[in-house]
Amino acid sequence: MKILVCIKQVPDSTDTLQIDGQTGFLSYTSNTAFRMNRFDEFALEEALLIKEKRPETQVDVLSVGPERVSATVQRAMGMGADHGIHILDRTNAYRSPFTVASLIAACVHQRNCDLIMTGVMAEDTMASQTGQIIAALLDLPCASSVIKEELRPKRAEVAVERETEGGNREEVRLKMPAVLTIQPGINFPRYPSFSKVMRARTYAQELIRAEDLAIEKPREFCRRVWIPESGPQGMLIEGSPREKAQKLIEILHEKSLLT
């Protein structure tokens, strides 16, 4: 069995982010630190748990981004991934979920993966779209917000339990190959041991240039980023319950919310 886990590198803190006044986009300072998207850590851990139960399983990780992304791929291999793939994309402009998913789909469509796993969303954009778009581009079944999965290799299917709106749960069965987006809380991501981290430094990563992959032109663009204006401040009403109620009624009358 072959599992591909898509991971993303994100800024470690918003404190070192700035908005470029000329371009209107986010920019990073020299103090900006980067790490693996925490939602993707749950997806990687789930793949590694499957590997522990089925030792014949191969776990590959893939990430899209500039040169610094190789450090995140290396960390994933230090956690236990067998192979790392880095799609080198030096584009500084906004990359939509469609474009990122297109790069991933173009890279893996002939790799015969049984499962493709992603985090439920990325911490920086919180779009929750990349995994689903990968599935659409590869014409694969997809289950989002997965909180439990059971592989059934003899039937070439995976049974999953997913969380839906309102805290409800849904059980579905998907034919493999399939795409799963993993919900946080499904497991406890491991911390790589020092020996594995050092060993991972000797592993060669597969490097693919984004410009060598045939994808469609971007479908959406980011015009600018800005900090939202502060909303109106709340008001604290003091006094006895009766006085508070009377004051609230007066305020609502003043704002023509009560007649």
pLDDT tens, position by position, 145-179: 999 999 998 899 999 999 988 888 999 999 999 99
Q: Where are the domains of the chain?
A: 2-212
Spatial distance between the Cα atoms of 208 and 110, rounded to a whole number of angstroms: 14
Residue 47 pLDDT greater than 70, yes or no: yes
Instruction: Retrieve residue 39's tokens.
Output: 């939602």
132 alpha-carbon distance from chain centroid:
11
What percentage of the chain reaches a pLDDT higher than 70? 100
Residue 217 pLDDT greater than 80, yes or no: yes
Q: Which of 15, 41, 86 lies closest to 185, judged by CA?
A: 41
**111 Cβ contact list (under 8 Å, min separation 6):** 2, 4, 60
Residue 195 pLDDT greater than 90, yes or no: no
Q: How many CA atoms lie within 13 A of 200 on its CB side?
A: 22
Class of domain 2-212 as given by CATH: alpha beta
Q: Using the structure block, give the residue that is written with the tokens 């000797």.
A: 202
Residue 63 falls in which region: left (phi positive, over 0), alpha (psi -120 to 50) or beta: beta
pLDDT band of 182, cuts 50, 70, 90: very high
- Give the model's pLDDT for residue 259: 66
Per the model's pLDDT, the better-predicted residue between 151 and 18 turns out to be 151
pLDDT band of 211, cuts 50, 70, 90: very high
Residue pair 192/75 in contact by the 8 Å Cβ criterion:
yes
Residue 26 pLDDT greater than 70, yes or no: yes
- Give the model's pLDDT for residue 233: 77
Pairing status of strand 17-19 against strand 26-28: antiparallel
Pairing status of strand 9-11 against strand 142-152: unpaired
- Give the model's pLDDT for residue 254: 85
- Give the model's pLDDT for residue 2: 96
Amino acid at 193: S
